[in-house]
Structures are given as structure tokens and as C-alpha cells.
Structure 1
Amino acid sequence: MEAFPIEIIDQILDDMDGPIASMESRTFVNVTVSSRKLEIFKHAFLDRSRRSNAVHRRDLVKDITLCVELWPYPLARRHRSETDKELEENNKHLTWAISSFLRIMSTWKKGDIALRIEVYSPTDCHHWSWERFGDWTEKRTNGRLLRFVNVDRHFNNIRPVRCITQFGQYTGRGIHPASIGKIWKYMSNVRTIDSNLSQSDNRYKKEKEQERLDLGLSLAGTPFLHLTELTLAYPHGMILDHDFLPGSGEIVEVDQLCLAINKICQTAPLRKLQLTDGFVVSPDLFTRPESSVMWPKIETVEINMSGLTPKGGWYTTGSNTRFWRARFNSYGNTNRLRRLENGEVPKNPWRDSADPKEFDSLMVAVAEALLCMKDLRSFKLGGDWFELDFEGNRLDGQNNCLKFYDYGRGKWEFSVDLRSLWSLVVKEEDGGEITHRHVSSYPDDDTN
């Protein structure tokens, strides 16, 4: 096979079964590299000359999984919280591993490689059990995230990585979202991002707000010149105690994360936006630009939003006159206190309707934005907590309408007609009666 061109070899190997293809010494379509073996990885693909086999190997690579191996810990400590020293050492190794990998990949020429990242300790494999995985990992990490340290020293003089065009899911230990954003800064040719981002526990309110701010600032400072699809899962965390206040009380004037995503949609060649797993959304996501066209390339928008606001409030309200507490004996005493502090224990669920003060401002922003998206073909917005679930598809023809169909429980209906004066009609069912509220209209419309 040495005499065949790279393209033919690649095609042959793609059609082979995995075990057969692995027998070919030049099969490097899928590569898994451990952070402890980065030097071996570097030399295996080292470009020493124009005719080097390593260059041909680079051309074959389509998928890389980087396994960041954290420091092992004694099995006897698996149910004890990670110490500050252990966290510090893991942060140092994470920083070194990611920066070293990016430095290696920056020497590769342009390509079409998908990158995934796994972060774990080898000790995890000794007691891996899906039934109890969540319990011991939550207690072990204590809800704390890994993050880069000494950034200026480790990431100094790293050139843009041109060969990675897809950034996929990462698994294992949670990484600070701003550190993930730091990785994206070096991917100058990335076209697709499909990432699940981690957050600290709900009880760490100030930390969560700072993480969101840091991620927003990181995204705002990244150009994303080639990004066409962006999928972010950034779950706040399920709150079942309706008396729980998710914010720290500090005033948040502008949601930098939603503002940054808005900027990406406006300036990048983005065609598809997905915000999933209870993404906390604010009206800043739909802030209209000075130009008449908003999100000029966007064709598909899908948002599964949380019932929480970035300002530490709720989009839902109700009458807090009832009192109800669930019998919550399904969890052991070990994690009960942590779940109570996180608002995860069901208690007094009185928030059963949308809060007009918070929710209407969001819907006004949505309505006004939709009218300015000229290439939009599909729009979905869902939220389980307040029975919101609607979607719309643009109808080509003389009506030129973007109509919405309510697939929820009848609480809300939305209708947007691009040729009518009304940008949004909201129908709210309350006690058997339906009231109509036009929450957004053009100034010359005098209809009530």
C-alpha cells in the first residue's frame, strides 16, 4: 500500500472493518492520545522533511480524542472531598496538558479534524459504576471545577491551530467554562462547536455568576471567522425548591454571555444555533443591532431555556400561600445536605405561571428579533418549567409568514406575521379565560 496515494489509502481504510484496518501501519484516521504520552504523539507525527511518513499520517487523521489524565488518588479517599492541594495539582496538569497539545497541533497544516476531550483520574476506573457514579464524583469534587492556572506562561506564543474544525463533547471532570473558551481562541478554523459546559453547584452563587461572566467575556473576544454551527449545553442545575433564590444578590446590568452569543450570531457565518439543557436566557440574547438585518446567516434556532434569569431571579411566579413538602427519602444522608443547599429537594412548588415583569420583556425581545432575521427558516423555543414550547417554520409564498404552532399545554400561543403590524400576539390562559396581550407592535399601529 506504500505506493498508493494518500487519498486512495484513506478510502480503502474507511471501508475496512476496525480490526482489519488497524493492522495497516499507516491507519491514523482516529487517534486517542493520553496527556502522559504527548511527547510520543508529537514525534509520531513530527514533520522532519517533505517526504516524511509523519506528514502522510497527519493527512489521514480525522478524529482526535485527548485524554487528560489527572493525578491518581488512594481508593480509600474516593468518597472524601478533594483537597485544595489535589485541586491545585490537577489544575496545573490540566493547564500543561492542554497548552502542550495546542502547541503541537499548531504546527500542523490546515485540515478537517474533530477534537474531543476527556478529563479523568486513572483511579476512577477502579470503581466505575453508572448507578453510583454521580454520587461519589459529586462528593469527591465537591462541585468544584478545574481551570487553567499561570495562563500567560503556559499559553505564551502558541500559534493558531488551523487543523481542527470541530470541537465536540468533553466528558469526565468538569472544566471551568472560561478555560474551554480559552481553547476556542486558538482554533482559528473551527466550523462546528458542540460542547457541554460545566457549572459549579447552585450553592456557589457568586462562583456561578463569575463563571458565566468569564465565559461571556471569553466568547466576546474570539472572532469565530468560520463558525457555522454552535451548540452549547450550559445547564444551571435543577432547582425544585421554589423558595430558592439562585442569585447572589449582586446587580447584573448586562448578561455578558447572551450578549456574546448575540455578537457571534451577528458577525460569524453562523447558520445554526442550539442552546440546550435548560440554558439561562436573557433579552440580551436578542438585542437588535443598529442595522436592519439581525443574525444575517442564521437559518435554524433551537433553545431549551431555564426558568431562571441571569440576574438571579425567576421567569415564573405564583401565589406563595400554599405549603407543600415532598417526602424525600430516596437519597441517602450523605448527599442530602448538599442537595438541600443546592435547592434540589422538592419543596413548596408555588411557581406555576409566567411572571409578566420578567417574561414579557424576554418575549418582546424575541418578537422584535424574529422580524429582522431574513434567512431564518426554523425557530424553536422550549421551557419545561413554565409550559412553554413552540416552534415556527417559514412558509414560502405570497404570505411570507413565520407562523408558530403551540405544542405545549395551551398556556401560550405565538403568531408572527412579517407583513402585519403586529410582531407578536400572546394568548394566556388563566382560570378558564383567555386574555390577549399585544406585547410588541410598530409605533404606527393603533390597534388595541
Structure 2
Amino acid sequence: MYDIKSIRENPEAFDRGMARRPNLKPDEKERFSSKFLLALDEKRRAAITAFEQAQARRNAASKEVGEAKKAKDEARAAALMAEVAELKTTMPALEDEAKKLAAEVDAVLAWIPNTPLDEVPEGADEHGNVEYRRHGEKRDYAFAPKQHFELGEALGQMDFERAAKLSGARFVVLQKSVARLERALGQFFLDTHTQEHGYTEVNPPLLVRDEVMFGTAQLPKFEDDQFWAVSGEVFANNAAASDMKGNRWGMIPTAEVPLTNLVRESILSEDELPLRLTALTPCFRAEAGAAGRDTRGMIRQHQFTKVELVSITAPEKSREEHERMLACAEAVLKKLDLHYRVVTLCTGDMGFASQKTYDIEVWLPGQGMFREISSCSVCGDFQARRMNARYRAKDNKPTFVHTLNGSGVAVGRALIAVMENYQQEDGSIVVPDALKPYMGGLTKIEKVK
């Protein structure tokens, strides 16, 4: 979230940043301009000034009433008392106007995306992304590789039909060794990041308040992409839809939300930074804008499991931490001997809260294409301002921290990658060496007869 003061001090830089967000709608281009924002802010400041002047005059006039009475100037005292009474009548309206305009400024600021860093490539969509590096090579198969859902269904261990009976589309029931393989992947990722990469394991709540969703910028822009839990008490009282927002919890779309918000409304000491956190959690996404995309298989699910990485750093360390986080996410894929590439997202494909994002895309031989398995972003102080998360630097001045988040990695997509890359001609799946300690001695997943 932006500080209106910084926009006021450097409007040209703000406008240049917004100009690099190519997918803004026409009305957003108008509202997200320094001209519009500063005009609205000028009204807010004028309203505050009017209220403060009225308040100051009321205080001064009240004092003058006493002086007039002391001087036995009854006419002046009466006139001053009438003025004070009138000010008391008009001041609430002046205060309400100032609050209303402040809320309008904050509401517009809450919808404005973060500014891309200078090195982020220009582009309108994913076609503008730039390959950063690549690891490994595609495997050669003496047969036509199958997609993960073909393999899973043939093994009798991946069931989309029964999941649909339970919950509808975009859910899956995993069973037997495939279910264990997914669990093994999550444990392997978590162990690697905590034991080798210095992340602290956290088991956070899966349901969070609106202000927590706002802190990491899921709200207000992406409200329709979330699932919401509402208590039975609300329904029992027949609460109106307008009352739901005060009586609901967001089902986390990623552990980034609770992990990053652990530092909300706090001032850390510089010695506590960098703070590196990780969690293995279920995640829930409504996928409101994904109609018709990846309707088969596990690529795009309403419920999935992911290992998340979050870093809280001092501003001067965040770029270095971004590269480190990317390397940590890559490390688990290297251990699985998977072919992947890293791309730098362009300005038209990067996320709302991000300053710069790397996507890791793993090769899926069944699909014959790279698919995203991790996204690592540096957000600067964009989220910290929304959360009021600061640290005390050496100059003893509270300063906003920088936040970073990344998938370390998406467990469901890693399961897809392992199944497709380690498939055999008979439809069985070889267990990667890195996962064998988690599979109870199982070295190959085959159909149970």
C-alpha cells in the first residue's frame, strides 16, 4: 500500500510506476494517477484544516468567554457563548467530512498495485516473461508419456469422480501409495527448508480475519477469489449479507497470509532480521477467474497443499533475500532431479503486491510443457504498510520491513511432476531417491491387484 505523502513528494515517480502496470482498466488509470489522488488528498487536508481551525477557535472563544465575564462585558460574553455553541454544532459535520475523505483516500490506495522494480521486463502477459536460468534436461521415453490423471486413475489411486460427488469440480481423492507420495513430498520439502535452509517451521491458523487478508493484499481486490467460513451463529441470527464481513473468516489461499501477518502491528529489533518462516498447510482458492482452464487433473484445484516460504527483512537486504529464497525453492527440485526453468515475470504478469517475481516452471512430459510449481516474490514495504509491520534500525527510528514470499514448493504440482517424470511404460511410477526415506521402503508405485 502506498503512502500518500510519498506520492505528494514525488508524483512523477509514482506515475511512472503505474505506467508500467499495463493491465490497468481505463477507470483505474484515472483513479491511480497522482493528479486524481492528490486532488482527493487536497480535499482531505482542507477538511482537516477546517475542523482544526474550528476546534482552535472554539477553544479560544471559550477562554475569551471567561475573560469577558471577568471584565463584566456581558454583551461580549453572550456573543462569544453563541459562537462557541454554533461551533459545537458545526464541528461534528466538519470532523465527519474529514474522516469520510480520509477513508476515500485509503480506499483508493488499497486498490493500487505495487510498483515494479526497474529491472522487471516490460510485457502485457505471460508471453513477455524472460527466462532467467534452466536446470537439467528432458527425460527420453521409449513410449508416449501420459498425463498424471491418466496414470493416477489407471493405478486406481486418484479419483476425481468420487471427489466431485463429495465437493464438486476441482477436487480429488488420493489413495494408497499416491496419497502417501503426496505426504512424503510435503514432509521432504519442510525438512529440507528447516534443516538445511534455516527456516523456522510454523503451524498457523487456516482461518483468518479480514484485516489479515488485507495485510497481504488478498483484500479488497481479490475478495471473489477467496473461500469464506461463516459461523453457525451468524446464520442462526439470520444476519444480513452486509453483516457477514464482520462475522467471517478467510480460508487461507496460501500460508503467506498468516505467516507474513505474524509481524503485523509490531516493531521488531534489527537483530531479529531476517526472519525466515515456513509452513506446510492446506490452501483454498475459489479460482473465480479460471473458468474453463485446467479442468482435468490436479493442476488447478480449489483445495491443495503447499509449503510456503516467508522472509521478513531490512530494506537493504530484500533483493539479496529474494535470490536466496529462489535458490531454496530450486534446491528441492534439484534433489528430486526434475527438469525446470526459472522465468522473471514481466510487468503484465506479475502479482498485485509484488515488486518482482520469479516463477519456477517444472517440465511435465505428459503435457509436453513447462508448468508453474513455485512463485517467489519480493514485495518491498507494500505489505508492511498494510500491516503496520516495522523494525527499529540502528538510528532507533521505526522503519517498515520488507516482505518476501515463495512456494517451496506446491505439493500437488510436485506430485504431478514426479508422477509424469518418473512414470514407466507399464504405468507404474518409480519413487525418487530423495523420497524413499519417507515411503516406508516402497520404491515403485504399482496398481494393487
- Please tell me the TM-score bracket, short chain as reference: under 0.3
Which structure's residues are more often helix, by fraction? 2
Determine which structure has greater relative contact order: mean sequence separation of CA pairs < 8 Å that are 6+ residues apart, divided by chain length: 2
